[in-house]
Amino acid sequence: MPDSAMTMVVTEPRGPLHPEAAEIVSPQAGWVRVSVVASGVCNADIGTAAATGENTAFPVTPGHEVAGVIAETGDDVEGWAVGDRVAVGWFGGSCGRCPHCRTGDVVH
C-alpha cells in the first residue's frame, strides 16, 4: 500500500486548488478506506473554500459527495470487500417523522 495519496486543497480564502499529498491511514474496526475516483463540489463546498470568518481553518479539501472503490477494510467489516464500488454522500441522518422525511425528502 502506498503511504500517501494526492488530494486537492484550497490553502487560503478564495484561493485556487493545489495538489497536496495526504498520509494514508488504515481504517479502524468497522470502517473502510475508499479510494476516491470522483468527487462532486457543490455551492456549500465553494462557500467553505471562500470563507474568511474567525473560525475558518485552512487547508480545505472541497467535495463531500464521492464515488470510488473500497481500498481497505478495517476489522469486523461485514458486507463490504476490497474492490467494491461505493458512493458516499454527506448526509448523516434524519428524524424520520417530519413531513419532509415521511415523503422521502430527508435532506430538508
pTM of the model: 0.72
Q: What is the pLDDT of residues 9-40, one digit of tens each?
A: 999 988 999 999 999 999 999 999 999 999 88
CATH number for position 37 = 3.90.180.10
- Give percent above pLDDT 70 in the chain: 95
Which three cell numbers mark 62?
472541497
3-class DSSP state for residue 11? coil
Asked whether residue 107 is domain-assigned, the answer is no
Give one word for 106, left, alpha or beta, with left for phi > 0 and alpha for psi -120 to 50.
Answer: alpha
Q: Range of 88's domain?
A: 4-102
**Structural domains of the chain, count:** 1
- Residue range 67-84: mean pLDDT, rounded: 96
